[in-house]
Amino acid sequence: MKRTVVNLPDEVYEGLAKLAIENNTSVAELIRKAVEAVYRDDIGNLQDFGEEISGSWKPGPSIDLSKYMADRGLN
The rounded average pLDDT for each run of 10 residues, N- to C-terminus, in the chain (75 residues) is 92 96 96 87 69 64 81 80
Nearby residues of 66 by Cβ (< 8 Å), 6 or more positions away? 75
First to last CA, the chain: 45
Q: What is the pLDDT of residue 53?
A: 60
pLDDT value for 20: 96
Q: What is the pTM of this model?
A: 0.58
- Predicted local distance difference test score (pLDDT) of residue 25: 97
For residue 14, report the phi and psi dihedrals to the nearest 5 degrees. Answer: -60, -40
Q: Give the pLDDT score at 47.
A: 62
d(CA 62, CA 72) in angstroms, rounded, equals: 17
pLDDT on residue 28: 96
pLDDT of residue 22: 96
